[in-house]
């Protein structure tokens, strides 16, 4: 789930790269190919998703939702229960049945549902109970971004050319078709690596979670294993997980976890939580900056008492420092 302020980070654009590459692969395949990817609806409700999955022979579809709310808003409680169920590949996932008065029974065999969704912190705040308060959050990898990683008005001479990108897309589509025909179980390269992975899990499982990342921690080992499998598939056909895959998977998921702690902190019950990081970002971008200027900038969103509380919290946790003589705030230098 890509999460960021509207118009600031390119959520839908990022998701669109994946969808476009899969569509390029599909053009060279028949619908009966094991590698063919069936797309689900990008709006409606979980019932529309169920109907589509029931019509697909292998019960697998992919959802690319530029606005995740368009899928879950119609009947949120039922939809989140359904999405959570689709994640868990237990015995009951071999056959999923859904009955409606109008459509009768829809039966999905060996269901497999993959989602790339996009949303905003404000939307998550409005739907906190569903998005972060239950099993759905534990099964979702939230990618929080606060700013663009690259920003140019014109991209001529920057990065690959259009011709290079087209060539890359064709090569990736060819690779995906090959990956889609691989069958079997992914396994660690050696018994020693398997023991190391087990030791990591036991140690990690006993550590306290990051504040705000409690639900993610409950499934981090699953996300790490699936990322290991993905990294293996990106470079080899034998379904072997190497130590390099394991180390890179841990690194990537740790980055996600750090962003998650900050991102979900903005979606807490404290009405000032969302503004705390915005104030911090403002001071970082403009500091040293007069307290009065910061207070005036955020005046329409928060009372003087409220922003004073934010200053105290940021100072207490060592994020900013106040230069008393000048009455200014700045980011506190680490170390």
CATH number, domain with residue 42 = 3.40.50
**Does one domain contain both 91 and 22?**
yes
**Does one domain contain both 226 and 285?**
no
**Does one domain contain both 228 and 311?**
no
Which residue, 262, 284, 309, sits at the end of a domain? 262
Q: How many domains does the chain have?
A: 3
Residue 268 lies in a domain: no
Per-residue pLDDT in tens (0 to 9) along the chain, 335 residues: 999 888 888 898 889 989 999 999 999 999 989 999 999 988 878 888 888 888 888 888 999 998 998 888 888 888 888 888 888 766 555 777 877 655 677 888 878 889 999 998 888 878 877 777 667 887 888 898 877 777 777 777 888 888 998 999 999 999 999 999 999 999 999 999 999 999 999 998 787 766 556 677 778 899 999 999 999 999 999 999 999 999 999 999 988 887 776 777 666 666 677 788 788 888 988 988 998 899 999 988 888 888 988 898 888 888 888 887 667 888 887 65
**Does one domain contain both 101 and 153?**
yes
Residue 85 lies in a domain: yes
At 36, list the tokens: 């063919």
- Terminal Cα distance for the chain, rounded: 34
Q: Is 10 helix (H, G, I), strand (E, B) or coil?
A: coil
**Does one domain contain both 253 and 291?**
no
Residue 142 lies in a domain: yes
**Does one domain contain both 159 and 13?**
yes
Which residue, 172, 204, 232, sits at the end of a domain? 172
**Does one domain contain both 323 and 202?**
no
Residue 267 lies in a domain: no
**Does one domain contain both 45 and 89?**
yes
Residue 179 lies in a domain: no
Give the domain range for residue 167: 2-172
Alpha carbon of residue 124 to chain centroid: 13
Which residue, 213, 231, 262, sits at the end of a domain? 262
Report yes or no: 83 and 137 within 8 Å, Cβ to Cβ: no
Residue 249 lies in a domain: yes
The percent helix, strand, coil of the chain (3-state, each to 5) is 50, 15, 35
Residue 177 lies in a domain: no
Report yes or no: 66 and 12 within 8 Å, Cβ to Cβ: yes
**Does one domain contain both 110 and 257?**
no
The DSSP H or E segment spanning 322 is strand 320-323
pTM: 0.80
Report yes or no: 253 and 220 within 8 Å, Cβ to Cβ: yes
């Amino acid at each position: 789930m890509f999460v960021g302020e509207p118009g600031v980070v390119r959520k839908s654009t990022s998701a669109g790269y994946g969808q476009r590459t899969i569509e390029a692969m599909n053009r060279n395949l028949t619908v009966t190919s094991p590698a063919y990817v069936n797309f689900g609806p990008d709006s409606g409700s979980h019932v529309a998703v169920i109907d589509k999955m029931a019509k697909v022979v292998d019960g697998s579809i992919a959802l690319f939702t530029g606005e995740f709310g368009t899928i879950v808003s119609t009947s949120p409680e039922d939809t989140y229960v359904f999405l959570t169920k689709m994640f868990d590949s237990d015995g009951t996932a071999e056959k999923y049945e859904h009955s409606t008065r109008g459509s009768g029974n829809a039966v999905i065999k060996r269901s497999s549902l993959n989602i790339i969704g996009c949303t905003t912190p404000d939307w998550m705040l409005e739907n906190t109970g569903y998005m972060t308060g239950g099993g759905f959050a534990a099964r979702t990898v939230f990618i929080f971004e606060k700013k663009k990683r690259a920003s140019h008005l014109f991209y001529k001479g920057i990065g690959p050319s259009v011709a290079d990108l087209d060539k890359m897309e064709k090569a990736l589509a060819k690779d995906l078709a090959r990956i889609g025909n691989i069958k079997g179980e992914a396994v660690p390269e050696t018994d020693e690596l398997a023991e190391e992975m087990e030791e990591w899990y036991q140690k990690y499982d006993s550590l306290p979670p990051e504040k705000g990342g409690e639900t993610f921690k409950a499934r981090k080992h699953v996300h790490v294993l699936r990322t290991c499998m993905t990294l293996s598939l990106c470079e080899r056909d034998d379904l072997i997980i190497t130590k390099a895959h394991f180390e890179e998977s841990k690194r990537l998921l740790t980055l996600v976890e750090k962003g998650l702690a900050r991102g979900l902190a903005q979606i807490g019950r404290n009405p000032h939580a969302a503004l705390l990081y915005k104030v911090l970002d403002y001071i970082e971008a403009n500091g040293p900056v007069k307290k009065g200027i910061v207070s005036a900038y955020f005046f329409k969103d928060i009372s003087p008492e409220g922003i004073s509380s934010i200053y105290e919290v940021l100072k207490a946790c060592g994020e900013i420092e106040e230069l008393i003589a000048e009455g200014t705030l700045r980011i506190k230098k680490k170390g």
